Structure 1
């Protein structure tokens, strides 16, 4: 009588690609297929979780402590259908914010405890104020500010500027105080990350 040998289920391996010039603290939580672009800063205890497909994060983003970027399956979703989540360039995800948006453009700010749910697309230059949330699927128009206890909206007169001063400071200072994950992707001229 032959013995049936079963192998343990194959767990999804973490496949994290970090571009040269990115500053990713070792204490951050990175799970799944994640690509982090150059000059992006990932603070300690920030979470990037790719359960329902890969996450592509562009250049010059700041992901602060306890901020979460999550690509998860919607309730009742098909686990065989993987959808990529794309984060553009020069976005700021402040402390304890949560982003599950399928697409985030450039120069957006999610302030402290802001929540952007799955099915939402942030275009460019949007600011989601402290403790504000966008939970219904929609495309948020450019330069929109969501603010106040009732999550009111208005359009900004000027486009927000990238947080270059803060970004350069963090790139210079964080390596002095934290262990970093080593970059494992070399930039190729003319090639985009996503």
Structure 2
């Protein structure tokens, strides 16, 4: 069985703080930024996080086992590109598309599929099985839903800033996987 750290693949240009809590088979694609105290748990199967995602402090992404189930290499949680997981959110969604924002302290249960361009508002809790259509905003105390008027903006400036600043204040995990070479560079 490979060691826990060898199951964590960090592609070049990803910034992953050592103080993050990572468990299981996780792949961070190029451009991802993982803050200290962020948590990613791959108990049910691998998690593949697409390019340029931001996972902020105390955010949790979990791919948890259903009762009675076992870890399965084919049970992959695929997270698209350019997603933002804000401070204290907890996301266990079945699938996540591109350019979504999970605002502070929101919760998304495992029976939820998030398409692309969605915003789950601060403090919103989604437990029921559903597919959020593209460009859906979930907001308010009752978790109301509406279609976004504008598309989600790019997080490029924030990612560039974080890639410059985080190494000044935190130890980083080194990139250890290059898909061009298709082997670990540990």
TM norm structure 2:
0.91
Query: Matches of residues 40-51 of structure 1 in structure 2 within 5 Å?
Result: 40-51=32-43
Structure 2 residue matching 1:32: 3-state secondary structure = strand
Q: Give the corresponding residue for 1:112.
A: 104
Larger radius of gyration: 1
* Cα offset, 1:13, TM superposition: 3.6
Q: Quote the RMSD (CA, aligned, Å).
A: 1.7
- Contact kept in structure 1, 2:65 and 2:71, CA below 8 Å: no
Map Cα deviations across residues 16-52 of structure 1 (whole Å, 9 max, x no partner): 0000000000000010000000110000000001101
Give runs of ≥4 in structure 1 deviating > 4 Å.
none
* Cα offset, 1:77, TM superposition: 3.8
Structure 2 residue matching 1:146: 3-state secondary structure = strand
Distance (Å, rounded) in 2 between the aligned partners of 1:13 and 1:63: 20
Q: Which runs of 5+ in 1 are unaligned?
A: 1-9, 190-194
Q: Which has the higher strand share?
A: 2
Count of residues in correspondence between the two structures: 179
TM norm structure 1:
0.88
Residue 170 (str. 1) matches residue 162 (str. 2): yes
Distance (Å, rounded) in 2 between the aligned partners of 1:184 and 1:44: 19
Structure 2 residue matching 1:53: 3-state secondary structure = strand
